[in-house]
Structure 1
């Protein structure tokens, strides 16, 4: 069975939808929209500048940019004034429900159900009223390892070929990962964030470590790579248990070494100033330097 056929079957069997009997589009009232936006306020705040950047790239091509919650409700949007009436008519507008249960196979709903990046082109949509659109979507994963939102770019351009849509799809995925990383940092404001690049940008590993060197958070990629809890809160554990020894340095440990050396360089070798910048005590920083193989006096470090 093809992927499109499997998705259509899910729309019919799981959700009981009939492609020939599309009901009216579902849209929440203003109060319900406001409540959802309030619950997602922190994510929306960190996502806003990234949505703006994405919109500046895709606006000239007649695309809209949407951010939804995990249930497929549109919470934020970017669309040109000239195209606003058209996109609102299509339901690509704040408060509309684009879950698979409501619209069958579509970019937003299918992305959320499958938990991965999708592109739904025109007649791949379940309902005929949506077949004029091409929708490119990527899930946004929260610090708890669960999908919390979807990022969507949609258009109805007939002159967009597969290569152009592939470029847009890649840009959507990159922006979604940027939002994830920004939200991860915002979720652990007092922690030190260690980043290790995976084989692709989508696989970047992020962990949060507190001032006692305890691991307190990890993004989805890190959870999967290091066998941590797949969802929910991370059980605090010594970061050294994850980072390993210098003679078997992991990507995390290499990233931590770079972070420490960078802080020392910015502080002109002043260990106390570097420790303050990293949010740790001087003694803690010396212990980390020792564990990471950073000499007692690299570059004539000051101990003041």
Structure 2
């Protein structure tokens, strides 16, 4: 699509205060709120090395937890000419993964460590719009605000911290012309899964020594509820999905409260406990009764799993459970 047609389309869609689509609303924010011109071609804002180091140091613990998942995601998407980026909550790229052969191309696009891809700086784009709206997005080619970015396809998912606040965006971008919207949808699903895995791993790392109670939520973008319970059976942490499900503090440090206040009285079996019990039984079944293997799959220690089994009323030998 010629650039002037893209510019006209963006400007026209941004005219109405009552934008009828999320994309049009983002274009309008870019033009009206941030004062950007879709025909403009400013250079991508780049932090100095010192500024970038400070940004990374502020999230050092989170980045260390995220790196294995970044590497795994990159191994999945790098054969298709994609880059993997991790940003902070302001849209600054903190980590990058790309092949040496593609590095010059992505650097030319500004997809590089230290670059500012907030919506305020770059208008509608995968990273910035994901962070602005706090949801998973795919911005495909001419859905970008700037005409100069219409060669990109960007698949992004937000990552929420253990305090319920947005902490990062996970991005996979490509400039390949053979990447269709259907292909991008497959990548987007993997990005969302990787983002949830990073979020869960950081949540666990944030509450060392606590018992992590989990439950899956079918059909929700927040697929996993996580509650941290200490040795005194006090709930001391909850991820964003759990906070929403239980109607507790939306953000910030969780006020410690008896876990039973969330899960119900001891003589009641709540939906949350049923889900946890089902997850433990599934893990044991997949591990063919090997408790150690099931514990590894659930991301807990063997002793912790035995305690959960006892609390949930799961026999230590429903069939043949190996203690190896």
Report the TM range for the smaller structure's normalisation: 0.7 to 0.9
Secondary structure of the residue aligned to 2:100 is coil
Structure 1 residue 45 corresponds to structure 2 residue 64: yes
What TM-score does the superposition give when structure 2 sets the normalisation length? 0.81
Q: Which residue number in structure 2 is paired with residue 113 of structure 1? A: 132
Q: Which residue number in structure 2 is paired with residue 272 of structure 1? A: none
Structure 1 residue 186 corresponds to structure 2 residue 205: yes
Structure 1 residue 68 corresponds to structure 2 residue 69: no
Q: How does 1:85-100 map to 2 (within 5 A)?
A: 85-100=104-119
Unaligned 5+ runs, structure 1: 268-274, 300-304
The one-character-per-residue Cα deviations of 1:194-215 (angstroms, maximum 9, x if unpaired) are: 1111114732110000000000
Unaligned 5+ runs, structure 2: 1-19, 293-300, 320-324
What TM-score does the superposition give when structure 1 sets the normalisation length? 0.86
Q: How does 1:49-198 map to 2 (within 5 A)?
A: 49-198=68-217
The separation in 2 between residues aligned to 1:105 and 1:137, in whole angstroms, is 12
Whether the 8 Å contact between 1:194 and 1:256 is mirrored in structure 2 is: no
> Could you tell me how far 1:149 is from its partner in structure 2?
0.2
> Could you tell me how far 1:22 is from its partner in structure 2?
3.1
Pick aligned residue for 2:276 from 244, 255, 258: 255
Root-mean-square deviation over aligned CA pairs: 2.9
Structure 1 residues 257 and 89, CA, compared in 2 at 3 Å: closer, same or farther? closer
Pick aligned residue for 2:230 from 179, 200, 210: 210
Secondary structure of the residue aligned to 2:101 is coil
Length, aligned pairs only? 287
> Could you tell me how far 1:254 is from its partner in structure 2?
5.0
The separation in 2 between residues aligned to 1:107 and 1:77, in whole angstroms, is 15
Q: Which residue number in structure 1 is paired with residue 303 of structure 2? A: 277
Whether the 8 Å contact between 1:211 and 1:279 is mirrored in structure 2 is: no
The separation in 2 between residues aligned to 1:188 and 1:219, in whole angstroms, is 11
> Could you tell me how far 1:158 is from its partner in structure 2?
1.3
